[in-house]
Amino acid sequence: MREILIATGNSAKQGEMAAVLGEGAPGGVRWLGLTDLPVAIPEPIEDGVTFLDNAILKARHYSKATGRWALADDSGLEVDALGGAPGVHSARFAGLSGGREMVDPANNEKLIALLRDIPLPRRTARFRCVLALADGDVILATASGAIEGMIVDSPRGSGGFGYDPHFLVPELGVTTAELPAADKNQISHRGRALRALRPQIERLIAGRLNG
C-alpha cells in the first residue's frame, strides 16, 4: 500500500482534496493528512514566484521530511484589474498570519477596497490551482486547473473558505461559497487539477506495482 501525504495545513483545503481524490482513488493508495503524522512538521517558507514554484517547494519539503510521496498544491485568486494579484500572495494578501477566521475577512476586505472603483464587468478573475507530487527531490507529476469568475462586493454564501463568498460564477449565478461542497468540487480549480493529476498517479502506482 503506497501512502501519499496530502501536504497542506489548511483543513478545509485538505477536506476538498481528500473528497475529490476519494471519488475514484487508484488502488494501492492510502491518503494521509498532516494530522495523521505522529509529529508536526514545520511549514516551509513559500518564496516561489509562481504557483508551480511553491507547489514543488512544498511537495519536496514534506516528502523529504516524512519519507513518503507528498502531494502539495499552491492556489490562489488572480484578478485581471489588479494585474493578476493577489496571485501567489492570496493566503496572506492583507499581511496577516494566523487562523482563517481572522485572515480570510482581512484578505477579502483588502480585495474589495482595491476594486471599489472598478465596475463589475471589469472584475474578471479566476481561481488557479497547481499540484505537484514529489518523492524526495524528484517531482513525479504536476497538474493545474482553473475556474473563471467575477468579484462581487457583497459576500454571499456560508460554504467554502478564503475568497469564495466574493467569487461569482456567472453561468451559475452563485458564488462558490453558495455551492454545496460536492457541486463546488466538480467545478473548482482544485477539483479540476486533481482530476487531471489522478491518471498520472494511477500510472505511477501501476508502474511501481508491476516493476
Residue 176: all three cell numbers together: 462558490
User: Residue 25 corresponds to which cell in the numbers above?
Assistant: 482513488
Whether residue 8 contacts residue 72, with contact meaning beta carbons closer than 8 Å, is answered with: yes
Residue 59's nearest CA partner among 73, 47, 39 is 73
The total number of residues shown for the chain amounts to: 211
117 is catalytic: no
**Rounded to an integer, what distance in angstroms lies between the CA atom of residue 46 and that of residue 203?**
29
Which helix H or strand E contains 209, and what residues bound it? helix 189-210
Q: Residue 162 and residue 76: Cα distance in Å, rounded?
A: 9
Catalytic residue (one of 36, 47, 53, 74) = 74
167-169 and 138-151: which strand pairing? antiparallel
Q: Report which of 199, 185, 99 is spatially closest to residue 141, judged by C-alpha positions.
A: 199
User: Among all residues, which ones are annotated catalytic?
Assistant: 74
